[in-house]
Structures are given as structure tokens and as C-alpha cells.
Amino acid sequence: MKVAILGATGLVGQRFVQLLSNHPFFEITALAASDNSAGKKYREAVQWRLNVPVAEKAGDMVLKKCTPDIDCDYVFSALPSDVAGEIEEEFANAGYIVFSNAASHRMDEDVPLIIPEVNLDHLKITETQKRKGKIITNPNCSTIGFTMVLKPIMDRFGIEEANVVTMQAISGAGYPGVPSMDIIDNVVPFIKNEEEKIMTESKKILGRLKDGKIYPANLDIFAQCNRVAVVDGHMLSITIKTQEKATLSEIVRAFEDFQPLKGMYLPTAPEKPVFYLTGVDSPQPKFHRDLGGGMSVSVGRLKQYSNKQFGFVALVHNTIRGAAGCAVLNAEIYNIFRG
């Protein structure tokens, strides 16, 4: 299966390149970027910020423009939101299947916002799309971590209210992104549109598909977002009120039993989508962000406040599970269902 990456030079684009080089299903046939970069070798155009070197083959590719004349089946979009909407539309209309990490189409009625472990069934609404191809999106990075840990609890006990405070990594802002003058010895309690995304996207993801439409989940969500001096890995301090009573051990079991993709051969799917850690001070970005190849959301510090109230901490690798990795997993699973 031939694939292309749009916006390949950004931080999320770099993760796409990393995850799709040597992928068993997919072969990168094109890397595309802004008109400025088009025509240059990828290696020379990119400011590579990952701590594994760029794959030889990708490094040698000459960047294309983001126009729908690329020889491939799937397109992964890491485009910035201000241009993503239109370009993705062009590709989808031209017949490409677009897996997008951009926010532009996420809340469109006919576009699913997929985390395979959480709402695979939502894929069905792509049938209502009138494009020759399709647009399939993955959620915002924090939202992915947030909904992946809510889902197992919701399925068993229902959730009435969820309060989340994020401590987000600098890589979430791309490159050059956060100035060092702003974040060394500091916390910035504001990330543009982030709280809104968590509150609206989560309800769509956790919502119910009925008659070809998604009805948002009915729970209260309060989100406050902070930027901290961490390179990769968003931390989430969460408190919830369940609809039904639960015990600590029942919640733990819900996390551990949560393996909805078990048995499917999906190269990017982690063994444990939610990785429950017992350490007194776990999870931590530095030590746990790479669990499950960066595709597991780790959870720890579970506390019970009352028989319907719980607190815990979750960690999601924001550019792998929270961005490129989720899109790749979406493509892997789409590929199977299509076949």
C-alpha cells in the first residue's frame, strides 16, 4: 500500500516518517511540504528533532508540493490547521483516503474522529461522505489520552463528570514552537484552543453512533491546560464521578481488561492500550512515555474519594499515540476492514 505524508517537515510529520519507514503494510512513496520546501531533499529541508536519525530512504526523497497528483492510496496529513482543511478536502475529493491529524475537519458531521480502541464503530459515518475518497481524523493529543482512560470506566460504570488538568510537553507546540524564554523555570497555564478541543472532541469520540449520526456523550467535562518543561509526553490529572458505584479494584480491572483490538494483527497497536502502573509516583513522562512503543496510555496514582469519585493520573506520548501513531493505527485498521 503506497502512502504519502503531507506536512512531512514538522514535528508530527517527522513522527509519521519514523513510524512509516519500515512499516509492514505501508510504503512511503512521497513526502510533501510547503511550496517553500518543495524541490529540496527531505534531509536538507527538515529540522529533524527526533533522537533517532532520519531513515536513509526518506532522507533522500525530494519533497513534493501538497497537490493531489501523488502516486499513492493513503495520505497522512500533519499539516498545520490553517491550511489543512482545504488541502485535505482536495485530496479526498480526488479519491485519496486521508488520515488527518489536523483539527480542521475533526468536528465535521460526516468525519469520524477515531481512536481504534475507543470508537472504531464511528468509522461507519464515512459512508455519509460525498467525497470520492474519505477523510478520517484522529483527535487532539490530550484528548486521545483523556478519552482512552475514560472509555473503560464509562463502559462499566458510566461517567457523569470528568475534570482534567493537563501538563503538556513542548513538542505539542511543534517547531520552533515554545520559546525557551517562556518555559525554562516556568509553567504556562494556557494553550490556545486546547481546553475547547478536549471538551468538544471528547464528547464526540465517546458519543453514540445511531442512524449514521454521532450523538455526543452526555457528561460534564472541565479542562484546564498547562505547558511544562517536558520534551515529550502529556500528563493528565483527572478526577471523575461515575454513574454507578465502583471500587478501586474494579477500576483497575476495567483498565486491564481494556483490549478491544486483541487478536487483530495491527503492527502499531500496543499490547496494553491502557497500561496501569502500580508505582507510588507513576506514570512519569521521562520514564513511561515510550511504553508500548509510545502507543500505550499509562495510568497510575488511582485514588478513591467516595464510592463514585476517583482520581488518577494519565500519560500519553503526544506525538506518537497522541498524533502520528494514532493516524497510522487508524490506517492499519481501515486497511483491514476495507480488505
Q: Is 219 in the site for a copy of itself (CB under 8 A)?
A: no
Q: Which of residues 99-128 bind a copy of itself (CB under 8 A)?
A: none
| C-alpha span between 167 and 115 (Å, rounded) | 21
Among 34, 237, 259, 335, binds a copy of itself (CB under 8 A): 237
Q: Is 29 in the site for a copy of itself (CB under 8 A)?
A: no
Closest to a copy of itself by CB, 117 vs 194, is: 194
Cis peptide before 270 (omega within 30 of 0): no
Among 120, 188, 217, 252, binds a copy of itself (CB under 8 A): 188
Among 24, 71, 82, 181, binds a copy of itself (CB under 8 A): 181
Among 222, 243, 267, 336, binds a copy of itself (CB under 8 A): 222
| C-alpha span between 65 and 160 (Å, rounded) | 46
- Burial class for 242, CB neighbours closer than 10 Å (0-12, 13-18, 19+): buried
The distance of closest approach from Cβ of residue 336 to a copy of itself in the complex, given in angstroms and rounded to an integer, is 30
Between helix 11-20 and helix 325-338 the angle, nearest 10°, is: 50
- Distance, C-alpha 234 to centroid of its chain: 12
# residues contacting a copy of itself (CB under 8 A): 56
Catalytic site residue from 234, 288, 317, 326: 234
Among 182, 244, 257, 271, binds a copy of itself (CB under 8 A): 182
Report which of 74, 46, 51 is spatially closest to residue 62, judged by C-alpha positions.
46
Among 62, 107, 187, 264, binds a copy of itself (CB under 8 A): 187
Closest to a copy of itself by CB, 128 vs 186, is: 186
| C-alpha span between 179 and 111 (Å, rounded) | 34
| C-alpha span between 120 and 324 (Å, rounded) | 17
Answer yes or no: 141 catalytic.
yes
Q: Which of residues 291-310 bind a copy of itself (CB under 8 A)?
A: 291, 300-301, 303, 305, 309
Q: Is the CB of residue 54 less than 8 Å from the CB of residue 42?
A: yes
Q: Is 230 in the site for a copy of itself (CB under 8 A)?
A: yes
The distance of closest approach from Cβ of residue 175 to a copy of itself in the complex, given in angstroms and rounded to an integer, is 5
Q: Is 30 in the site for a copy of itself (CB under 8 A)?
A: no
Amino acid letter, 39 = G
Q: Is the CB of residue 255 less than 8 Å from the CB of residue 274?
A: yes
| C-alpha span between 208 and 3 (Å, rounded) | 31
| C-alpha span between 194 and 107 (Å, rounded) | 14
- Of the candidate spans 67-75, 143-151, 233-241, 257-265, the one that interacts with a copy of itself by CB under 8 A turns out to be 233-241
Cell triple for 85: 482543511
Q: Is 189 in the site for a copy of itself (CB under 8 A)?
A: yes
Q: Is the CB of residue 301 less than 8 Å from the CB of residue 276?
A: no
Site for a copy of itself, rule CB under 8 A? 11, 48-49, 51-53, 163, 165, 167, 170-171, 175-190, 195, 220, 222, 224, 226, 228-231, 235, 237, 239, 280-287, 290-291, 300-301, 303, 305, 309, 311, 313
The set of catalytic residues is 141, 234
